[in-house]
């Protein structure tokens, strides 16, 4: 299919503004750019209660932002990890996303401000992510949450962290999330490039050079790319992991690795739903406030979470 007309229009506007390619920007420039884009594309009218909280983390104090829907708890819980290539983003950039998820799915959302590279290299981010999920299980009652109905999820790099944490918890004997929401996940940082990387190398919003820029910031040693805590697709086994919704985009370099991971989960006996959005590019899900396709993908995520968190045995 051709590129979605709304997305094509946004890309044309961005090109007219003369923004530098991501891989030519400084980290500070790229962080400011993402914050500006998210302020435009991820506006939400949802109004859950919002509170910031600090918990002990493996690298010191770990900040969380907690969203609570109206009603009487205990509520199901989603622990959410923002995207941004392990370098960009924070709980502020993805505030609108979490508002939508909390109100739409009727769950508490625990948004995690994990440590970013290059200041904090791998494995700081997955270590923080795991600590936040373990805390959520242990302290669910303190946030009006139900520890028997905890899901994990994220987009892009955040989806990588969700997949990694699911594997770590399984390998350590629990606790076990009831679901994992993986929105255009990056799951394999080593090996030959997939066809979608080759086809979209010059890409739309995310290019092959951009992906390498993120890896250079994130990994201290290229050999770390083969570690399953960086590349969860390389885990020895995918059996026993939570049911997953995997969302991909047609014109996304990460499309194939996400869909291949979903197929590998299914082959390992995990229940998986895969939704590819034709005409879409990387990042479209977070632009639910501007893009029809983004709104559709957000609505699908919300409905899937609502069903899974209401009746997790399904």
For 200-255, what is each residue's pLDDT tens digit? Answer: 999 898 999 999 999 999 999 999 999 999 999 999 999 999 999 999 999 999 99
Q: 297, 277 in Cβ contact below 8 A?
A: yes
Give Cα 94 distance to the centre of its chain. Answer: 10
What's the CA gap between 226 and 236, in Å, rounded?
12
Cα distances from 36 to residues 39, 47, 264, in angstroms, run 5, 21, 36
**Taking the model in full, what pTM does it have?**
0.97
Work out the pLDDT band at 311, boundaries 50, 70, 90.
low
Mean pLDDT for 46-65 is 97
Sheet holding 49-57, edge to edge: 49-57, 60-68, 108-113, 75-81, 145-155, 180-183, 244-251, 272-281
Fold of 5-310: Rossmann fold (3.40.50)
Give the domain ranges of the chain.
Answer: 5-310
Work out the pLDDT band at 300, boundaries 50, 70, 90.
very high
Per-residue pLDDT, 203: 83
Catalytic residue among 44, 224, 282, 301: 282
Per-residue pLDDT, 100: 97
What's the CA gap between 207 and 50, in Å, rounded?
35
Catalytic residue among 4, 113, 128, 252: 252
Tell me whether residue 282 is one of the annotated catalytic residues: yes
What's the CA gap between 18 and 185, in Å, rounded?
28
Per-residue pLDDT, 17: 80
Alpha helices in 140-203 (DSSP H): 157-171, 195-199
Work out the pLDDT band at 314, boundaries 50, 70, 90.
very low
Tell me whether residue 172 is one of the annotated catalytic residues: no
Q: 167, 241 in Cβ contact below 8 A?
A: yes
44: its two tokens: 């939400």
What's the CA gap between 88 and 82, in Å, rounded?
9
Give every CB contact of residue 293 below 8 A, 6+ residues apart in sequence: 4, 6, 7, 277, 279, 280, 284
Cα distances from 80 to residues 97, 152, 192, 199, in angstroms, run 10, 6, 30, 30
Mean pLDDT for 118-128 is 98
Look at residue 313 and tell me whether its pLDDT is greater than 90.
no
DSSP 64-119: EEEEE-SS-SPEEEEEEE--STTTS--TTTTHHHHHHHHHHHTSEEEEEE---TTT
Catalytic residue among 111, 156, 231, 301: 156
Quote the DSSP letter at residue 258.
Answer: H
Tell me whether residue 23 is one of the annotated catalytic residues: no
**Average model confidence (pLDDT) for the chain?**
96
Look at residue 78 and tell me whether its pLDDT is greater than 70.
yes
Residue matched to tokens 């990588």: 160
Percent of the chain with pLDDT over 70: 99
Mean pLDDT for 127-146 is 98
The strand pair at 75-81 and 145-155 is best described as parallel
């Amino acid at each position: 299919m051709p590129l979605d007309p709304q997305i094509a229009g946004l890309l044309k506007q961005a090109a007219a503004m003369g923004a530098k390619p991501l891989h030519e920007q400084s980290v500070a420039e790229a962080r400011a750019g993402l914050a500006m884009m998210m302020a435009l594309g991820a506006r939400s009218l949802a109004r859950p209660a919002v509170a910031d909280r600090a918990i002990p983390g493996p690298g010191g104090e770990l900040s969380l932002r907690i969203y609570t829907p109206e009603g009487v708890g205990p509520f199901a819980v989603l622990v959410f990890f923002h995207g941004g290539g392990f370098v960009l983003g924070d709980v502020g950039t993805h505030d609108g996303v979490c508002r939508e998820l909390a109100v739409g799915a009727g769950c508490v959302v625990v948004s995690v401000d994990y440590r970013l590279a290059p200041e904090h290299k791998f494995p700081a981010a997955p270590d923080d992510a795991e600590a936040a999920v373990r805390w959520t299980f242990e302290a669910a009652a303190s946030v009006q949450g139900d520890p028997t109905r905890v899901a994990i999820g994220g987009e892009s790099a955040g989806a990588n962290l969700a997949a990694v944490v699911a594997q770590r918890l399984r390998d350590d004997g629990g606790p076990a999330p009831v679901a994992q929401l993986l929105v255009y996940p990056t799951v394999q940082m080593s090996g030959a490039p997939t066809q979608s990387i080759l086809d979209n190398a010059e890409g739309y919003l995310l290019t092959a050079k951009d992906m390498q820029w993120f890896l250079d910031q994130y990994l201290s040693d290229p050999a770390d790319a083969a570690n399953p805590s960086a590349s969860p697709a390389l885990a020895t086994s995918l059996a026993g992991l939570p049911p997953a919704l995997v969302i991909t985009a047609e014109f996304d370099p990460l499309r194939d690795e996400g869909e291949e991971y979903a197929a590998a989960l299914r082959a390992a006996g995990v229940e998986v739903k895969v939704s590819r959005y034709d005409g879409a590019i990387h990042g479209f899900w977070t632009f639910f406030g501007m893009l029809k396709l983004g709104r559709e993908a957000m609505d699908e995520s919300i409905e899937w979470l609502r069903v899974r968190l209401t009746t997790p045995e399904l």
